[in-house]
Amino acid sequence: MLNKQEQNNKSKRTVIIALVVTVGMFGFGFALVPLYDVLCDIAGLNGKTGPKYVLQSGELETDLSRLVKVQFITSNNENMSWHFKPEVTQVEVHPGELMQVDFLVSNPTQQAMLAQAVPSLSPSEGADYFHRVECFCFTQQTLQAGEEARMPLRFVIDKDLPKHLTKLTLSYTLFDLTNSDISMASVPK
Amino acid sequence: MRSVWIRWAVPFFLLAFSSITQAEYGLNMTPGVTDISQSVYDLHMIVFWICVVIGIVVFGVMFWSMFKYRKSQGAKPAQFHESTLVEIIWTIIPFIILVAMAVPATSTLIEIYDVEESDIDIKITGYQWKWQYDYINDDVSFFSNLSTPQDQINNQETKGDNYLLEVDEPLVIPINKKIRFLVTSNDVIHSWWVPAFAVKKDAIPGFINEAWTKVNTPGIYRGQCAELCGKDHGFMPIVVKAVEEPEYKAWLLAKQEKAKADTLLASQQSAQQWSLEDLIAKGETVYNTSCAMCHQANGEGIPPAFPALKGSAIAMGAIENHINIVLNGKPGTAMQAFGQQLNDVDLAAVITYERNAWGNNKGDMVSPQDVAKAKGN
Amino acid sequence: MSAVVENELNEHHHHGPAQGISRWFFTTNHKDIGSMYLWFSFTMFLVGGCMALTIRAELFQPGLQIINPEFFNQMTTMHGLIMVFGAVMPAFVGLANWLIPMMIGAPDMALPRMNNWSFWILPFAFTMLLSTLFMEGGGPNFGWTFYAPLSTTYAPPSVTFFIFGVHMMGISSIMGAINVIATILNMRAPGMTMMKMPLFVWTWLITAFLLIAVMPVLAGVVTMMLMDIHFGTSFFNAAGGGDPVLFQHVFWFFGHPEVYIMILPAFGVVSQIIPTFSRKKLFGYSSMVWATSSIAILSFTVWAHHMFTVGIPLFGELFFMYATMLIAVPTGVKVFNWVATMFRGSISFETPMLFSIAFVILFSIGGFSGLMLAIAPADFQYHDTYFVVAHFHYVLVPGAIFGIFAAVYYWLPKWCGRMYSETLGKTHFWLSFVGMNLAFFPMHFLGLAGMPRRIPDYALQFADFNMISSVGAFLFGTTQLLFLYIVVSTIRSGAKASAAVWEGAEGLEWTLPSPAPYHSFTEPPVVK
């Protein structure tokens, strides 16, 4: 049977352990943020297509036995007023073939503006196999008032793309960062 | 007292359940018009009936106990209070029932996720508070707004049959073709839902989601936004018109022709001289479709989120500022950049209307040419 | 010699409660604090109830009659927040405070002063939360689930106060949970092993572990919101590399265990009451402990069943479907055990037993709709419709709320030494039962027929059931004023209660006099 002193000590110990768990779970909540990104990267979830892709030498062996349709769609977020369209809405590529598609952008307003394009690929199963070698979405883009630009996307589809995937859709959403206080946490994937 | 309750409760439940299979009463889920929606309906009914049976058994034992083992009738309590065997049995049997449910559920889900080999791809963008449909490969794009008049909503007019489920421009698709939807959002999270197709997909800003359907029966199918997205979440319905393929092709062609004609007309109208009266008249129509939900038909808005236009600094002040806010919106608020959504004639008309309606009476006229200039064209 | 006696006499004076209002501000007594939690929770229940009636009044007929859509969104949001965080959770903490020390033979909670702080944070937090309704831009209007970016980029200015309110309330819950764990683990009377504890104590122990595991995650997610809104981060904003869906994952990682936090103590209450009024021991005590623990552990693995339409890949969707279906197994085991307790018992139908029986039946109906919701392809038709609203109101109202009513009727005689009027109690029960079913059963049909959630106006085919539902809601709501009357008149002028109160009641609290002394079990009892 515990006396009051022993009970007090045991209680203190329980409280300390419980507090450690509490703080730990608070940290866990924040750890979910990078964890989510890691899981999305590994599994290609959420249409995230990975960071800038570095081509290995000898990688560009084209698989001529099949063609994959790649569609491009664009959206402007909120009041973003830039004209933003792909030069072509669809291309057909062989896996392993390096392809370039240009996007036409223009700023019709009277002031310079800063934008960020965020990509998303569908189906998400294909995101792991869609490699962007060069993309205007890797950096923020500035256009002066009335300025037009032609922004390239260079990509290659991995030869290991599952055979049942014959059509991929790459969507870009253009965000207006001109007056935003968003600091770029990381390169969008 | 007890038997009276049972005599009343049992018929109630029987009545409720017996009419449940009649979807026309609006009691049950619709089997819909696609193979998937039928599978979903079948799944729903299987699980429902399993639950009914389990409920009858479990509640039956309870009601029986309440009747037979009442202290007031002299029941003496038994002494048993555990049995490992019984616990194991009533753990394993439910588990088996669940596995049985999971099998058809899994195969239906796999079918739903198979988006391959679509015939037509349509991009769907959720806006606060309307939908935009974009036929990616056909260069047809339009907004779909709620078309129920404000007066019906405000109980000043009798409500129509499709109250809150009607739009100005429905989505038109052919039957018997696999239609793939690419769903995203312009602002907050919305969700595109058509019960007749069993398709519901969230629209997430910055990301694209996929769904597909293949409609078997021509008809008009109505749905609603299914994710709280702000003030008019309940006022951005979906209407899909499924038609035979020839009719779809004709509609698509007409839409493409109309888009070209509209551009031509807009530039002609932009070039032509408009009178103040004509602009105001047109502007009122545009206002009622695109502006009145927030700023209200009487121009008084719902401050502070939706400012009044009647007597407002913008409508009564410098024309440039008025044009600018209508064209480019106001970041951080619900005021959108209508320069992206309306043509020059409509924009000029609505701005002119706002400056002259509700006693504002500025006498100002904004022409389509003014708008074009402000856009930088 | 006489001085010593006098001193002893003086010391006895300190054993009673202090006088005046400062008693309530400074008390560290678990009975006082329990009472404050219960009164606070009932007040919040009425406030949240008024918001519900505002909603149901607007939804009585199609068209916008009474309030505008903006305010409607504030009402639905605040109704949820107040009921979840202001009514249900504090009520269970109040029951924990009153009952746990008495049930385990302890003189008080392990940390009496922290106990006081845990309570007094709440009135401050909720005053702040309610005051947002009067701020510029209105109160929170993004649903109690506050998804980003509606709750970040598009939120009214009051969102910052909402976040602070959530933080304060979370701190209160965490401190309360730590107190419960320390008390139960360390202060049981000699002879009371873990497997001899009353089931209410078990369910609260498990609930307390859930609380310290997930309330910090809620604190994390609202902190991330705060940072996105004020400090330029992009946790939930795609523009800066973030993802709105991340919000949903983190929120529901908290949110799902949260709903079990809201029901496990009610399981405990019902597990005490049914054996008493069946005059038979609870069937399968150890199985009940295992089932409750399994439910708690499984509750961490099912969160994305709230997100089936968000675009989760196939294998994720399947995993969450299977895990959610699995949770039905231990829940079913509990229901079977309650039924087996009643079977071949000797049953009487006093008010606590009526609420407990209704709990088992109606909570099970909520469980059935939950099982239907777990089937992911079918959920595409149910998600964000009134079918979901029906489901969670069935598990929360005849679940958590009836559990709380049952507990109050059962233990009130012990707390205040007086019996409530059985006729009035039964009236409260039947009116609540009818009102609740009228209010929420039609919602199943509304959802199946296609009515979405969180809309202030609806298409004409939904009109009839909405009208029925509103009538039921008003019946249920006004009946709770009868409950207030019953409690107050019992405390003031009820018939005197005995120590044992209920024939067949077991547990240390029934060995105390009624009302229980201000300080009880100052010497621990011996438990055989």
* C106 close to C190: Cβ distance less than 8 angstroms: no
Residue C268 C-beta-side C-alpha neighbours within 13 Å:
27
Q: Is B234's Cβ below 8 Å from some Cβ in C? A: yes
Beta bridge partners of B239: B222
Strand duo B120-127 + B179-185: pairing: parallel
Q: For the residues A137-165, what does the mean pLDDT come to?
A: 92
**Token pair of B221, please?**
């199918």
Measured between CB atoms, which of A46, A78, A89 is closest to B187?
A78
Query: With contacts defined as CB-CB under 8 Å, which chain C residues touch B187?
Result: 149, 154
Interface test with C, best of B13, B63, B228, B293 (most C CBs within 10 A): B228
Non-local CB neighbours of B278 within 8 Å, separated by 6+ positions:
none
* C504 — pLDDT class (breaks 50, 70, 90): confident
What are the sequence ranges of the domains in chain A? 1-43, 49-179
In degrees and rounded to multiples of 5, residue B271 shows phi and psi of -75, -30
Amino acid at A122: S
Fill in the DSSP letter of residue C452: B
What are the sequence ranges of the domains in chain B? 19-112, 120-258, 272-376
Fill in the DSSP letter of residue C344: T
Whole-angstrom CA distances from C331 to B347, C279, C356, C370, C438 are: 60, 24, 16, 11, 26
Amino acid at B108: T
Contact C316 A45 (CB under 8 A): yes
Work out the minimum CA distance from A24 to partner chain B, whole angstroms: 31
Q: For the residues C162-188, what does the mean pLDDT come to?
A: 96
Closest alpha carbon to B71 in A138, C504, C225: C504
pLDDT of residue B211: 97
Q: Taking the model in full, what pTM does it have?
A: 0.91
Q: Is B30's Cβ below 8 Å from some Cβ in C? A: yes
Q: Is B235's Cβ below 8 Å from some Cβ in C? A: yes
In degrees and rounded to multiples of 5, residue A3 shows phi and psi of -85, 175
Contact A36 C249 (CB under 8 A): yes
* C18 — pLDDT class (breaks 50, 70, 90): confident
Q: How many CB atoms lie within 10 A of CB C326?
A: 18
Tell me the residue length of chain B: 377
Read off the pLDDT of residues C343-393 as tens digits, 9 standing for 90 and up. Answer: 999 999 999 999 999 999 999 999 999 999 999 999 999 999 999 999 999
Amino acid at C2: S
* B166 close to B144: Cβ distance less than 8 angstroms: no
Work out the minimum CA distance from A96 to partner chain B, whole angstroms: 21
Fill in the DSSP letter of residue B205: B
**Chains contacting chain B through 3 or more C-beta pairs under 8 A:** A, C
Interface test with A, best of C111, C218, C231, C234 (most A CBs within 10 A): C234
Closest alpha carbon to C307 in C259, C376, C260, C368: C376
Work out the minimum CA distance from C235 to partner chain A, whole angstroms: 8
Contact B116 A121 (CB under 8 A): no
Dist. CA C322–CA C412, nearest whole Å: 42
**Token pair of C9, please?**
């006499």
Closest alpha carbon to B241 in B203, B289, B194: B194
Q: Is C325's Cβ below 8 Å from some Cβ in B? A: yes
Read off the pLDDT of residues A150-159 as tens digits, 9 standing for 90 and up. Answer: 999 999 999 8
Helix (H, G, I), strand (E, B) or coil at C148: coil
**Token pair of C284, please?**
């399968």
Measured between CB atoms, which of C63, C329, C339 is closest to B94?
C329
Residue C262 has pLDDT above 70, yes or no: yes
By C-alpha distance, the chain A residue nearest C208 is: A18
pLDDT of residue B345: 86
Q: Lowest mean pLDDT of B4-8, C30-34, C448-452, C504-508, name the range.
A: B4-8
Dist. CA C260–CA C271, nearest whole Å: 16
Give the percent of chain C with pLDDT over 70.
97
Q: Which residues of C are catalytic?
A: 79, 108, 144, 172-173, 256, 258, 260, 271, 305-306, 331, 334, 453
**Token pair of B305, please?**
């989120």
Q: Which residue has the higher pLDDT, B102 or A7?
A: B102
Specify the CATH number of the domain B272-376.
1.10.760.10
Residues of chain A that touch chain B, judged by Cβ-Cβ distance less than 8 Å: 46-47, 71, 73, 75-81, 89-90, 108-110, 118, 120-123, 145-146, 164-167, 169, 171, 173, 175-176, 179
* C11 — pLDDT class (breaks 50, 70, 90): very low
pLDDT of residue A188: 38
Non-local CB neighbours of C178 within 8 Å, separated by 6+ positions:
A14, A15, A18, A19, A22, C111, C114, C208, C212
Q: For the residues C468-473, what does the mean pLDDT come to?
A: 98
Query: With contacts defined as CB-CB under 8 Å, which chain B residues touch A164?
Result: 116
Dist. CA B127–CA B143, nearest whole Å: 9
Read off the pLDDT of residues C32-48 as tens digits, 9 standing for 90 and up. Answer: 999 999 999 999 999 99
**Token pair of B289, please?**
């479709």
Read off the pLDDT of residues C394-432 as tens digits, 9 standing for 90 and up. Answer: 999 999 999 999 999 999 999 999 999 999 999 999 999
| Domains observed in chain C | 27-262 (1.20.210.10), 265-519 (1.20.210.10)
Residue A78 has pLDDT above 50, yes or no: yes
* C81 — pLDDT class (breaks 50, 70, 90): very high
Dist. CA B346–CA B156, nearest whole Å: 28
Q: Which residue has the higher pLDDT, A81 or A99?
A: A99
Q: Is B60's Cβ below 8 Å from some Cβ in C? A: no
* C277 close to C350: Cβ distance less than 8 angstroms: yes
* C71 close to C134: Cβ distance less than 8 angstroms: no
pLDDT of residue B332: 64
Average pLDDT for runs of 10 along chain B of length 377: 49 51 66 97 97 97 95 91 94 97 97 92 96 94 94 94 96 97 97 98 96 98 98 97 97 92 75 84 90 88 85 92 88 78 88 93 88 77
pLDDT of residue B376: 66
Sign of CA dihedral B291, B296, B300, B304: negative
* A72 close to A101: Cβ distance less than 8 angstroms: yes
Fill in the DSSP letter of residue C86: I
pLDDT of residue C424: 98
Q: How many CB atoms lie within 10 A of CB A107?
A: 22
CA B278 to chain centre: 34
Beta bridge partners of B131: B126, B144
In degrees and rounded to multiples of 5, residue B132 shows phi and psi of -120, 135
* Dihedral angle computed from the Cα positions of residues C465, C470, C471 and C473, in that order, rounded to the nearest 10 degrees: 120
Cα C51–C54–C59 angle (5° rounding)?
130
Closest alpha carbon to C140 in C227, C83, C72: C72
Dist. CA B339–CA B330, nearest whole Å: 12
Burial of B88 (0-12, 13-18, 19+ CB in 10 A): exposed
Helix (H, G, I), strand (E, B) or coil at B296: coil
Question: What region does C408 belong to: left with phi over 0, alpha with psi -120 to 50, or beta?
Answer: alpha
* Strand spans (E) along C122-227: none
Residue A95 has pLDDT above 60, yes or no: yes
Closest alpha carbon to C175 in C106, C122, C99, C124: C122
Q: For the residues C13-19, what does the mean pLDDT come to?
A: 66
Q: Is C377's Cβ below 8 Å from some Cβ in B? A: yes
Q: Is B201's Cβ below 8 Å from some Cβ in C? A: yes
Beta bridge partners of A100: A154
Query: With contacts defined as CB-CB under 8 Å, which chain C residues touch A14?
Result: 110, 178, 181-182, 185-186
Provide Rg for chain C, Cα atoms: 23
Work out the minimum CA distance from B119 to partner chain A, whole angstroms: 11
B120-258 is a CATH 2.60.40.420 domain: yes
What is this model's ipTM? 0.93
Fill in the DSSP letter of residue B162: T
Interface of B with C in 89-128 (CB under 8 A): 90-91, 94-95, 98, 101-102, 105-106, 108-110, 112-113
Level-2 CATH architecture, domain A49-179: Sandwich (2.60)
Dist. CA B247–CA B245, nearest whole Å: 5
Query: With contacts defined as CB-CB under 8 Å, which chain A residues touch B375?
Result: 108
Read off the pLDDT of residues C126-137 as tens digits, 9 standing for 90 and up. Answer: 999 999 999 988
Residue C14 has pLDDT above 90, yes or no: no
Closest alpha carbon to C170 in C227, C124, C237, C216: C216
Burial of B361 (0-12, 13-18, 19+ CB in 10 A): exposed
Dist. CA A128–CA A110, nearest whole Å: 40
* B335 close to B293: Cβ distance less than 8 angstroms: no
Task: Provide the CATH topology of domain B19-112.
Answer: Helix Hairpins (1.10.287)
pLDDT of residue A22: 93
Non-local CB neighbours of A66 within 8 Å, separated by 6+ positions:
A94, A95, A163, A166
